[in-house]
Structure 1
Amino acid sequence: MNKIFTILFLTLCSLSVSAQQFSQYNTGTLYDSFENPSQRSFIPDSSRAVAFNFFVPNFDANLFLTGNIQRPLKSRAFGDPPYYNTSSLKIGRNALNHFNANGNAYLIMLKLFTSLNGNVEMGFSFQSRLESKGLATDESVAFLDGPSNFAYNSYDNIFNNHYKIQMYDQLSYTYREQVTKQLSLGFKLSYLSGVQYDKIDVNESSLQINRDPVDPSNDNADVYMQGRFYRSYVPGRLDSRDFLPTFRNPGASISMGATYRTEDGVLIQGNIKDLGFIHWNKRSTITDFNNTTNIADITSTHREENIYNAVYDLVNGNGAVTSFNTKTNAKAELSVSKSYWLDDEKTFRYFPTLIAQKEVFDTGFTGALVNSVQKNNLIATLSATYDDYKFFNLGAQIMVKSANAEFFVGSERLLNTGRFAFAALGNNQQINHIGNYTGADVFLGFSLKIGRVIEHPMNSSYIPMGEKGFFGRLFGRIFKTNN
């Protein structure tokens, strides 16, 4: 498969490595405790003292693609044979289509229960993350199918696209403490290692098609673009070795959280997540492009690669070799939850959670209502989300969780994930379907707890309890509660 199609579709729609899965809120999983640092993952007198994922990746990945380009990109990706169904495209109207892809994969999660006095938990993790979003015009996809989609020879500003992708590794230390019976605090400090960053903003563009009335194989086009292109330095081709942590593109981030339990059992939780930056090294480039390129052979089967190579040379011209800084996709969240027993024997527990999430440096906003029902070790969750794109989604999760083992799998976009899966399997109805968006979401996790059981002194032959944690000592000094 050629380069240009890989960038326009597969890069956007098959990335498997930062989006918080709302269904995990208040479940007490190891994954939940790393994403929401004030959440506990151990239960004294039940849990063992060491939680580990045993190198089984715990991940979530999601994507969506809106607008008229859904049908042609799905037919090109999943059609047999592959082709562009361009019937939905509107040429000459500068119609924009949104795309977004995020991923978060924990490769290592290790957490220790270190003190009963304050229920102190400390942990270490290694994860890889991806953040990508952008805007693409109908004409950008139509041009990949050749000049037959264009009724006229000349067009202005039909390639004004915007695109950004950022990939990085994250090495983290997390700390959580029960400061009082009602208040718990936690933080997550991370070293970031940048893998790749690309960003392109096209502010002006034009297309001039030069048709040969005798021999269409001689058709060519002049493409003009003006804008800016950021590209991080990657030695050679990007491969698996580039995902190993290095000091080539250093950065840092912090997550902070607090959970407060009211007297009537309402849990109020607030988080600031992944507030950070990455410094891309001095061998990176920033290119201000303002030029025209001629693209030959735009009717043959090689047209996509020809277009990609010509446009890449245009935007990547004589760039300035320099370092630059970028922000991570930080989020602020607030949630409210309460548990209810549904029967007198207390075998069925219902715990709804209402969540509001806002991107710190962008316009993104999402509201979620998560409904979970638990019977013994089985938890079933149904979630509903609504965001600023006016997308309403239903999600579901199945979890098997005991004091020392947990496994969960689910999706925040259940119906659209199903449609996407059918399209990927070659279902023509779903390939040609145009809804509010084409998208998918999946998450999965596993961990075990090992070591000694955490026991209170009255029940245990293991005497040391440990001292209060950092937050507990600080709280005691401020409010004079230390003995």
Structure 2
Amino acid sequence: MKKFLLVLFFLLFSFRIFAQQFSLYNTGTLYDSFENPSQRAFIPDTSKMYASNFLIPNFNTNIFLSGDAQATLKNRAFLNKYDNSALQIGKGRYNMVNENINAYLIMVKMFSSLSGDVEMGFSWQMKSEGKGAITDESIAALNGTQSFNSGQNYTNIFNSNYYYQTYHQISFTYREKINKQVAFGVKISGLLGISYQKLNISGSQAMFDKTGDSAVVALRGKYYSGYIPGHFIARDYLPNLRSPGAAISMGATYRTEDSFVLQGNIKDLGFIHWSSRSSYYNFNGSSSIYGLTTPQREDSIYNKVSKIVHTNQVTGSFTTPIDGRAEFSVSKSFWIDDNHMFKYSPTAVVSKELFYPGFIGALVNPFKYEKYSLTLTTTYDDLKIFNLGAQFMMQTPNWEFFIGSDKLMQSIALAGDQLNKNSANINQNGTYTGANFFLGFSLKLGPVIEHPMNASSIPMGEKGFLGRLWSRWFKTKD
């Protein structure tokens, strides 16, 4: 088990955290075509036939923390000390944390049929997702007894919860343009679980003794842990069949007569069945913790809390959903100049988590000049938080490179705090502390996709399965 009070917060400052982003919507990048299955990656008569990232990871990273504990945890992360001055004891205040992963290690796609405008691809990605609600008192306790009254009986001050899971996702994707207006896409995935943790403390009591430099803590709740043989090491990140699962993504794109592009997606609707050697704990116990003003207090707290949590063990499998989403977007492109060199393609996106209350809206504003584009993105979510993002992209029909952030100002501020240990921002709480960063590259190879009038030789193929089904249902001509 990770240090249950520390794991989510100190994970915030590691590089292994990834997330949802919007700046790549309707860009026609290889990344976009795997994330939004009905989106095309090839342009006939322009693109080459095969696309890949050539083992260069395409990834998107995101971290988020709101609440009174921002200054406390930034001090701990950057200055190796605590500052609990902003924490409010006994007020029932929570700190919200959110992190996810989306890193494509392998992406390969081919244009397989000109008549059916069919694209097929394979991908391997690593993903992680986690959410938590941690009380101010849980953070304050990491700095010992100084924030608490000696001899006072505190009730339910440690009632916190979090979940965290990581897994591999190996996928096959199929995209077909049914006619001039409609395109469908599907992404079918096999999942291989890496690790899972879920903790819910539903009842807690504590009494601090400043003279004795100690505390008595009682906790009640539930804890789930996916099976890992031995201590977690780097080798456990390799794919294995201990905890299998499956997922599906489906999407459709419709182009209206006045050139509006409507796109809808159900993403990552799936589950993981964790190994039968996994564990479930229905804990209810207490322990005395000593040395709360010593440098070893974090280890002392972890060891005692871990001992309470790991009681009343039941071994067996359980099934968890992955963080699926429903998304809808509307887009339209405009040429700004008469020579068709400057293009503006605004996209409005709404995204709703399927199994959690998260909701977010985005307005994506890409400005393109020849092969260069600059995108400004604004988002607003159910926590009433506004974000500004930016992306720079270089893109031709046969290669692309992009870099950006959907939380631009917060990312710059957090990076500045890490570089400048004297920054006044370290001791301040903002609306939230967070960062986002994404980077990607892909290249197309092979023969150019050409229509017969332009080609010396090309296998035309036939309409794809979806196109033939559409023609049969709606009695349309080939």
CA deviation string 1:58-88 (max 9, x = no partner): 0001111111100110001001xx1101111
Per-residue deviation at 1:308? Answer: 0.6
Q: Which is worse superposed, 421-430 or 15-24?
A: 15-24
Mapping 1:1-16, distance limit 5 Å: 7-16=7-16
Q: How far apart, CA to CA, are the structure 1 residues paired with 2:86 and 2:74?
A: 12
Per-residue deviation at 1:94? Answer: 2.1
Mapping 1:191-340, distance limit 5 Å: 191-212=190-211, 218-340=212-334
Q: How far apart, CA to CA, are the structure 2 residues paired with 1:73 and 1:462?
A: 63
Mapping 1:281-430, distance limit 5 Å: 281-425=275-419, 426-430=421-425
Identity of aligned residues (%): 53
Asked if 1:170 is matched to 2:164, the reply is no
What's the counterpart of residue 125 of structure 2? 127
Per-residue deviation at 1:313? Answer: 1.1
Contact 1:20 1:35 in 2 (8 A): no
Q: How far apart, CA to CA, are the structure 2 residues paired with 1:69 and 1:284?
A: 32
| SS of equivalent to 1:148 | coil
Contact 1:13 1:64 in 2 (8 A): no
Contact 2:13 2:77 in 1 (8 A): no
Q: Which is worse superposed, 460-469 or 253-262?
A: 460-469
Instruction: Tell me the amino acid that sits aligned with residue 187 of structure 1.
Output: V
Q: How far apart, CA to CA, are the structure 2 residues paired with 1:374 and 1:83?
A: 46
Contact 2:11 2:17 in 1 (8 A): no
Instruction: Tell me the amino acid that sits aligned with residue 34 of structure 2.
Output: F
Q: Which is worse superposed, 94-103 or 13-22?
A: 13-22
Q: How far apart, CA to CA, are the structure 1 residues paired with 2:8 and 2:347?
A: 37
Instruction: Tell me the amino acid that sits aligned with residue 167 of structure 2.
Output: Y
Q: How far apart, CA to CA, are the structure 2 residues paired with 1:436 and 1:312?
A: 32
Per-residue deviation at 1:481? Answer: 2.2
| SS of equivalent to 2:346 | strand
Instruction: Tell me the amino acid that sits aligned with residue 432 of structure 1.
Output: N
What's the counterpart of residue 45 of structure 1? 45
Q: List gaps (5 residues or longer) in structure 1.
A: 213-217
Per-residue deviation at 1:149? Answer: 1.4
The counterpart of 2:448, out of the listed 423, 446, 453, is 453
Asked if 1:182 is matched to 2:181, the reply is yes
Contact 1:17 1:105 in 2 (8 A): no
Compared with structure 1, are the counterparts of its residues 4 and 333 closer, same or farther at alpha carbon in structure 2 (3 Å cutoff)?
Answer: closer
Contact 2:106 2:123 in 1 (8 A): yes
CA deviation string 1:182-207 (max 9, x = no partner): 00000000000000000000111011
Per-residue deviation at 1:427? Answer: 4.0
| SS of equivalent to 1:22 | coil
CA deviation string 1:208-243 (max 9, x = no partner): 11343xxxxx42211111110000111122223222
Q: How far apart, CA to CA, are the structure 2 residues paired with 1:206 and 1:469?
A: 63
Instruction: Tell me the amino acid that sits aligned with residue 63 of structure 1.
Output: I
Q: How far apart, CA to CA, are the structure 2 residues paired with 1:258 and 1:18?
A: 26
Question: Which segments of structure 1 move beyond 4 Å, counting only runs of 4 or more?
Answer: 2-6
Compared with structure 1, are the counterparts of its residues 448 and 427 closer, same or farther at alpha carbon in structure 2 (3 Å cutoff)?
Answer: farther
Mapping 1:29-40, distance limit 5 Å: 29-40=29-40
What's the counterpart of residue 28 of structure 2? 28
Mapping 1:83-94, distance limit 5 Å: 83-94=81-92
| SS of equivalent to 1:458 | coil
| SS of equivalent to 1:149 | coil
- Please give the root-mean-square deviation of Cα atoms over the aligned residues, in Å: 1.3
What's the counterpart of residue 434 of structure 1? 429
| SS of equivalent to 1:55 | coil
Per-residue deviation at 1:13? Answer: 3.9
Question: If the length of structure 2 is used for normalisation, what is the TM-score?
Answer: 0.97
Contact 1:13 1:101 in 2 (8 A): no
Asked if 1:138 is matched to 2:136, the reply is yes
| SS of equivalent to 1:10 | helix
Contact 1:4 1:307 in 2 (8 A): no
Instruction: Tell me the amino acid that sits aligned with residue 165 of structure 1.
Output: Y
Question: If the length of structure 1 is used for normalisation, what is the TM-score?
Answer: 0.96
- Paired positions, count: 475
Contact 1:473 1:482 in 2 (8 A): no
Per-residue deviation at 1:463? Answer: 3.4
Q: How far apart, CA to CA, are the structure 2 residues paired with 1:140 and 1:73?
A: 12
Contact 2:46 2:397 in 1 (8 A): yes
